[in-house]
Structure 1
Amino acid sequence: MSTTTAVAPLTIQDAETLVDAARRAAETTGVAVSVTVLDAGGQLLAFRRDDRAVLISGETSTRKAYTALQLDAPTAELVDLVKPDGPFHSLPTALDRPLLFIAGGVPVHRDGRLIGAIGVGGGAPDEDHGFATSAVNSLV
């Protein structure tokens, strides 16, 4: 007998909490960012670009979130896998929808199940990863 436990999906309130937490973390270091939150199906739940954030950060935050969602892993852990000598070096160009292997994308789990992802762009990769991780950790 199989038992399946329903897991609550990522809500718009969750998404807003993630965006606010990531932006607060970035503000404490003086970094202007864009933040994207996707649900488990890859659909946009929330997006915010700070006034001073570079324009490309909107695109990078979205691609980072999508990559983290599709591979169910933080993008920071995937960077070495797509280098020319890495086992997945052709993955960035293998799909119609572009993946981005730069730190700043983090999957969101609830009760051990993947329910979405967050992507942060605008700071240095390590900063973006820290802001995204901080946001995910703030989601209770």
Structure 2
Amino acid sequence: MSTTVITTSDAETLVAAARAAAEAAGIAVSVTVLDAGGHLLAFRRDDRAVLISGETSTRKAYTALQLDAPTADLVDLVKPDGPFHSLPTALDRPLLFIGGGLPVHRDGRPVGAIGVGGGTPEQDHAFATAALRELAQ
């Protein structure tokens, strides 16, 4: 039985596609791609991207990977009245519940994640989504 993984080439495709979508919108971003174990496969911060975007893109990718869900779908769950309000502080490695993180699947299984930071949460989510579409081609 072979295990489907996300490759370095896949990670580079994701970074390039997310950056192209962001550049088309005039937004400077950071993009992080993690493998299924949460290890860094690729990272790129545009020269003009705000410094914190590097950290936020990585945390978004990690959160999407750990919970196997888009971070944009998790925002309401961690609000003070949400069912998982304590989740952001429950782990040693911080999670981030802001749009821009998406899990990457192959054969119905999570193999990694992408996180984009630097735009609004909606923009970052759209850039990550564009990257996944490019990878699927």
* Range of TM-score over shorter length: over 0.9
1:136 aligns with 2:132: yes
Amino acid at match of 2:72: A
State whether residues 7 and 110 of structure 1, in contact with CA within 8 Å, keep that contact through their aligned partners in structure 2.
no
Counterpart CA distance in 2 for 1:59 and 1:18 is: 18
1:22-68 alpha-carbon deviations (Å, 9 max, x no partner)? 00000000000000000000000000000000000000000000000
- The two structures have a TM-score, normalised by structure 1, of 0.95
Q: Which residue of 2 aligns with 1:114?
A: 110
Gaps of at least 5 residues in structure 2 are none
Who is 2:75 aligned against? 79
Determine the C-alpha separation between the residues in 1 that align with 2:88 and 2:101.
Answer: 15
The residue type equivalent to 1:38 in the other structure is L
- 2:84 corresponding residue in structure 1: 88
What code does the residue aligned with 1:107 have?
P
Identity percentage over the alignment? Answer: 79
Alignment of 1:1-140 (within 5 A): 6-140=2-136
Q: TM-score, normalised by structure 2?
A: 0.97
The structure 1 segments of at least 4 consecutive aligned residues displaced by more than 2 Å after TM superposition are 5-8
Gaps of 5+ in 1: none
| C-alpha distance in 1 between matches for 2:41 and 2:119 | 22
